[in-house]
A = this chain, B = another copy of it.
Amino acid sequence: MKTLEHTISDGVTERSFILGEVPGVLWTPTTVTAPAPLVLMGHGGGLHKRSPDLVARARRYVARYGFSVAAIDSPGHGERPRSVRDQQWVAKMLQARESGRPMGPIIAEYNGSLAERAIGEWRATIDALQELPEIGPDAPIGYSGMTLASAIGLPLITVEPRISAAVVGGVFVYDVLMAAARMITIPIRFLLPWDDHEIDRQTGLDLFDAFGSTEKSLLATTGGHHELPSYVADEAARFFVRQFGRSAAVTT
């Protein structure tokens, strides 16, 4: 892992890094007494590791809850070149949307392929982050991210025992994700935009129901795919605080 520029503001240290061909960002509390819990924050489809919403949430998690947060660009997203195959999937999706044909089969193929590639990248990122003294091998690790980030996160969790809690949801559901949910037993907070016009509500309820976790909760909120109320991120942060049993900045 090569660390690039690094800035400090409002008690948050932000540094860019690159690991192989994967660029990422790490946000950590500037002053900490003990390694903070680490939240891996995935970005949505078409977005990237520095999308404004993600950055705002990451900085808030660090400043308010004392977490560290890491984000990486998914294959073909952000600073990473999009392969010819990925370009074809994206073109097919847009064509399907415009002509009113079902996008489901294309999303399942494209997201499935992205997830296959991203899983190893996230695992290598965890390896590298655990080498840093600010993180270390003992910090509890959570995963957070909706839509594409959930399509990547669910299969990732099934093979990565270091992730011990996750916030997911708002995702287009296909068989691989249902199968992953059934294998997952870590605590889950599932976010469901109740008025999502792109994703059938019942498939979200079915996915939540499929998780094998003893502790899981579903938070459904009014609004569509990209209209999550701002308090949802704070409730998600408190979910991680409950799971990790500690937080540098807040008590629950």
Residues of A within 8 A of B (CB): 194, 205, 208-209, 213-222, 229, 231, 234-235, 238, 242, 252
Q: With A219-B219, A219-B220 given, name 20 new contacts (CB 8 A).
A: A194-B209, A194-B216, A213-B222, A215-B222, A215-B229, A216-B221, A216-B222, A217-B219, A217-B220, A217-B221, A217-B222, A217-B229, A218-B219, A218-B220, A220-B220, A231-B238, A231-B242, A234-B238, A235-B235, A235-B238
Q: What is the total number of copies of this protein in its complex?
A: 2
Q: List 11 A-B contacts (CB under 8 A).
A: A194-B216, A205-B205, A213-B222, A215-B229, A216-B222, A217-B220, A218-B220, A218-B221, A219-B219, A220-B220, A231-B238
Which residues in B have their C-beta under 8 angstroms from that of A220? 208, 217-220
Most interface-central of A216, A220, A234, A242 (chain B CB within 10 A): A220
A205 to B208, CA, bound (A): 14
Chain B: minimal CB distance from A239 (Å): 8
A106 to B252, CA, bound (A): 41
| Chain A interface helix/strand/loop/mixed | mixed
A242 to B220, CA, bound (A): 17
Chain B: minimal CB distance from A237 (Å): 11
Which residues in B have their C-beta under 8 angstroms from that of A217? 219-222, 229
A234 to B208, CA, bound (A): 23
Chain B: minimal CB distance from A23 (Å): 34
Which residues in B have their C-beta under 8 angstroms from that of A194? 209, 216, 218
Instruction: Output the nearest chain B residue to A217 by Cβ-Cβ distance.
Output: B221
Which residues in B have their C-beta under 8 angstroms from that of A219? 217-220
Chain B: minimal CB distance from A197 (Å): 15
Which residues in B have their C-beta under 8 angstroms from that of A221? 216-218
A208 to B252, CA, bound (A): 27
Per CB-CB distance, the 8 closest pairs between chain A and chain B, nearest first, are A218-B220, A217-B221, A219-B219, A216-B222, A231-B242, A235-B235, A215-B222, A217-B219
Chain B: minimal CB distance from A133 (Å): 32
Instruction: Output the nearest chain B residue to A214 by Cβ-Cβ distance.
Output: B222
A4 to B30, CA, bound (A): 54
A229 to B234, CA, bound (A): 18
Which residues in B have their C-beta under 8 angstroms from that of A208? 220
Which residues in B have their C-beta under 8 angstroms from that of A205? 205
Instruction: Output the nearest chain B residue to A241 by Cβ-Cβ distance.
Output: B231
